[in-house]
Amino acid sequence: MSETTINMTQPPPPPAAPRLLRRSSTDRIFGGVCGGLGRYWNVDPVVLRVVFGVSLLLGGFGLFAYLAMWLLVPDESAPPTARVSQSWGLRILGAGTAFIAAMIGLGLLFSDSIGGGGVLLGALLAGVVVWIVMSQRGGGSPAATPAAPAEPVGYAYGGDGGYTATTALPAPPVPPAPPRERSYLGLIGLFAAVAASGVAILLGGGATVVMAAALLALGVTMLVGGFYGRAKWLLVFAIPLLMLLAVVSQVERADLSAGQRVWEPTTAGETYSLTLGTVDVDFAQWQGAPVAGDEVTIDMGVGEVRVAAPRNWDVELVTTLDRADVRVDGERARGRTVAGEQVVTIPASSGTADGTLRLNVDMQAGEVIVRTGAPAVGEPTPEASEKTTKQDKKEKAA
């Protein structure tokens, strides 16, 4: 028993460096908020940038939330004791901006303004949460922890009859992660997108072409980023751009019109167009009663078509869309499908029909709401019956 080392105590854990929320000065695109949050939560900042990008679409919620954090979170030069920005001016501005963000957030929570999109948004957020959880890189960064001084943990029996303090063997040093090479690919792609949209404007392209050109530049850059450099943060720009492009292209194709309208067709063959909004269809001004083959058409982008069906008419509702609801007196109506069109026949609520009108609703997305029992319109006139006879004759001749 010459040299025996007895460990008296376990080595104490090194004191953890306080985790501070700071805006990053190295990993930043605008204010370093996402970079700082990413380091604080140990999450890839790209994920946070995508979340912020998507939340920009929520009535400006993301924009105000980002601005508030930019104003309130101190940068890396602030002393460790500082919890918020040093300047009172920034604190007040930041608190005001945070208040606006909170108001927008509450407005989103307690209104159905996002409607069916809420489910989609929920699914999206759930996906992001799963991604964040899976991309957690466990534990704090070892480089951030200052090396604890070696502490005596045991005693060695020395030959001179005394004990000398020993120290625990130092833990093998953790090799520092190689510094990531700074990639300029994303920045190049961003400016390429700006230039591409400029070229598209110069060549006389419409809004769709200009945005598609920018999107093409972003897409190709990210494609290159799959192999060289880093460019996936361009998603922050690409996702809102594609959403905007999809809407603008839709509006460009139809005539730009939006709002709440009332349409009162008077004769067969009339057509009404609306890009976005609500159309109330009222047949009160119709001349006489419709005869076989009479039809009117609504060309609609996105919205709601509300039809007041006269009590003395059969209305044959024909829609080209398969994803829109057709509701008759609050009940969802399932019509028959004929050549890709959905046909719902709404019989006259009075029991006997004085005429049948075909109502074509050509719609991208939305709802058709039919209310039956509207006041009777146009008793069959001798004119109308004459018209019918003429039409019959024509058909026979054909």
Partner 1 sequence: MSKHPIDILSLGAGLLFTLFALGYLLVPGSMGLTLVIPVMLIALGVLGIVGAVIAQNRRKAELEQL
CA pair distance 383, 290, nearest whole angstrom: 11
Only one of the segments 73-81, 123-131, 154-162, 309-317 lies at the binding site for partner 1 (rule: CB under 8 A); that segment is: 123-131
> Around 153, how many Cα atoms within 13 Å sit in the side-chain half-sphere?
13
The one among 42, 145, 166, 183 contacting partner 1 by CB under 8 A = 183
Q: At what angle do helices 45-55 and 33-41 cross, to 10 degrees?
A: 130
Q: Beta strand pairing status for 355-374 and 295-310?
A: parallel
Q: Measure the N-to-C terminal CA separation of the chain; round to a whole number of Å.
A: 121
| Least distance (Å) between residue 212 CB and partner 1 | 4
Q: At what angle do helices 33-41 and 61-72 cross, to 10 degrees?
A: 80
- Inter-residue contact 301 to 250 (CB < 8 Å): yes
110 versus 228: smaller Cβ distance to partner 1: 228
> Around 383, how many Cα atoms within 13 Å sit in the side-chain half-sphere?
6
Tokens representing residue 143 in the block: 């480089």
DSSP state of 42: T
| Least distance (Å) between residue 19 CB and partner 1 | 22
Q: Is 58 in the site for partner 1 (CB under 8 A)?
A: no
The contact mask relative to partner 1 for 203-242 (x = CB under 8 A, - = no) is -----xx-xxx-xx-xxxxxxxxxxxxxxx--x--xx--x
The size of the interface with partner 1 (CB under 8 A), counted in residues, is 51
Q: Is 334 in the site for partner 1 (CB under 8 A)?
A: no
Q: Is 256 in the site for partner 1 (CB under 8 A)?
A: no
Q: Is 246 in the site for partner 1 (CB under 8 A)?
A: yes
* Type of residue found at 48: L
Q: Is 99 in the site for partner 1 (CB under 8 A)?
A: no
The contact mask relative to partner 1 for 276-305 (x = CB under 8 A, - = no) is --------------------------x---
Residues forming contacts to partner 1 in the complex (CB under 8 A) are 120, 123-124, 127-128, 130-131, 134-135, 137, 181, 183-185, 208-209, 211-213, 215-216, 218-232, 235, 238-239, 242-243, 245-247, 249-250, 253, 302, 323, 364-365
